């Protein structure tokens, strides 16, 4: 779905939550496959049983990539992904956990690109216990409304 929104059309504080997705052993195998990261923390069950978490944990990059993908439901032609700040892995995600994503427009910042500004979107990946497992700030470079003044 395509929805055009200029920088000024985003309401700070507005929040969305996605539907859920259960993280499976297959997701971990496929992510290990794509990235080449077969560390025992993700794929060696007996070894994990001897560690503090007692079981295999999803890759941080898996939870991040899937979370960002789940949050991407609407295409805005005036916006492009600029980067991420303060990406933190707060709790482990285990096989069988179900995650959903809460996004919140947190701030608008100046940017040197003429006619554009940075939209700071808070992204939190939540598990089935409503705990935050991953948090970051997604920076979007968004076109200002035609004729808008830069501060």
Q: 14, 33, 54, 145: which one contacts its own copies (CB under 8 A)?
A: 33
DSSP category for residue 94: B
Q: Closest distance between its own copies and the C-beta of residue 7, in Å?
A: 19
114 touching its own copies, by CB under 8 A: no
Residue pair 15/101 in contact (Cβ under 8 Å)? The answer is no
Q: Which residues touch 147 (CB under 8 Å, ≥6 apart)?
A: none
Instruction: Count Cα neighbours of 77 within 13 Å in the Cβ-side half-sphere.
Output: 4
Per CB under 8 A, which region of 6-14, 33-41, 106-114, 116-124 contacts its own copies?
Answer: 33-41
130 touching its own copies, by CB under 8 A: no
1 touching its own copies, by CB under 8 A: yes
Q: 3, 47, 54, 113: which one contacts its own copies (CB under 8 A)?
A: 47
DSSP category for residue 142: E
Q: Which residues touch 55 (CB under 8 Å, ≥6 apart)?
A: 45, 48, 49, 94, 95
Q: 6, 7, 10, 31: which one contacts its own copies (CB under 8 A)?
A: 31
| CA nearest neighbour of 68 among 10, 9, 121, 13 | 121
53 touching its own copies, by CB under 8 A: no
Q: 12, 15, 38, 148: which one contacts its own copies (CB under 8 A)?
A: 38
Backbone angles phi, psi at 26, to 5 degrees: -65, -40
Q: Which residues are bridge partners to 122 per DSSP?
A: 104, 137
Q: 88, 113, 131, 145: which one contacts its own copies (CB under 8 A)?
A: 88
Q: Interface with its own copies by CB under 8 A: which residues?
A: 1-2, 19-22, 24-27, 29-40, 43-47, 56, 59-62, 64-66, 68-70, 72-73, 75, 81-89, 96, 98, 128, 136
């Amino acid at each position: 779905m395509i929805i055009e929104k200029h920088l000024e059309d985003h309401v700070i504080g507005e929040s969305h939550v996605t539907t859920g997705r259960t993280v499976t052993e297959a997701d971990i195998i496929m992510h290990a496959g794509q990235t080449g990261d077969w560390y025992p923390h993700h794929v060696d069950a007996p070894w994990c049983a001897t560690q503090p978490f007692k079981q295999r944990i999803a890759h941080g990059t898996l939870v991040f990539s899937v979370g960002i993908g789940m949050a991407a439901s609407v295409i805005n032609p005036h916006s492009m992904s600029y980067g991420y700040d303060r990406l933190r892995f707060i709790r482990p995600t285990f096989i069988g956990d179900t995650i959903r994503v809460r996004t919140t427009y947190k701030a608008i910042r100046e940017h040197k690109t003429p006619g554009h500004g940075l939209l700071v979107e808070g992204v939190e990946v939540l598990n089935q216990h409503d705990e935050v497992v991953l948090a970051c700030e997604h920076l979007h470079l968004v076109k200002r409304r035609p004729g808008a003044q830069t501060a």
